Amino acid sequence: MKELETAIARYHAMKLKDILPPIDSLPVLCTDSSVINVLEILRTRHHVWVINCKEDGKLIGVIRYLDVINFIMPPEKHSTFIGTTRTVLMSIQGGAEIASEVMEKSAIKINHNKSVLDALEKMKNYNLQLLAVVDDENRLIGEISLRILINKFLDLCF
């Protein structure tokens, strides 16, 4: 049992930057990428990170698999009331053509210098299984998922 406690303590202290998967494995598009490009990635992935490619690669938002419902559904099928017109505008038939028009702007992120424990706490607080990992300039450098964290923990234990 002592070995497991030691492994957990080491695991919690690990820096995210030391366990990130390669950046080229991320599903990433630029803000001006077409909605069709978004759908092509979402065929096989559960999310797409949206970055500002023209300036500095900063993380701008995220499009999740379930968000597709909003932009392929006709505008008249959206329930609208005060404050909800954004989902209608996010529809392809409502005029959305590029990633920045269908993305969620409030992607939950964490700095690469934070620890595994910090990531777990943030995931728990926001009820998420995935966080964008950014550098000190808010540039997307990776992602951390619950699956990655589970695998890393098992690697330490066995």
Q: How far is CA 104 from the centre of its chain?
A: 10
Mean residue pLDDT of the chain comes to 88
Q: Can you give the pLDDT at residue 2?
A: 77
Architecture of domain 2-157: Roll (3.10)
pTM of the model: 0.85
pLDDT top residue among 146 and 57: 146
Q: Can you give the pLDDT at residue 51?
A: 96
Rounded to an integer, the average pLDDT of 36-53 is 95
Q: How confident is the model over 105-116, as pLDDT tens digits?
A: 989 999 999 999
Q: Can you give the pLDDT at residue 85?
A: 46
Sorted by where each begins, the domain ranges of the chain are: 2-157
Q: How confident is the model over 52-105, as pLDDT tens digits?
A: 998 788 999 999 998 888 778 776 766 654 454 454 456 666 677 899 998 999
Q: Which two tokens stand for residue 33?
A: 């990428």
Q: How confident is the model over 123-142, as pLDDT tens digits?
A: 999 999 999 999 999 999 99
Q: Give 59: exposed, middle or buried? Use CB within 10 Å, 0-12, 13-18, 19+.
A: buried
Q: If DSSP codes are grouped into helix, strand and coil, which group holds residue 71?
A: helix
Looking at residue 61, the DSSP 8-state letter turns out to be E
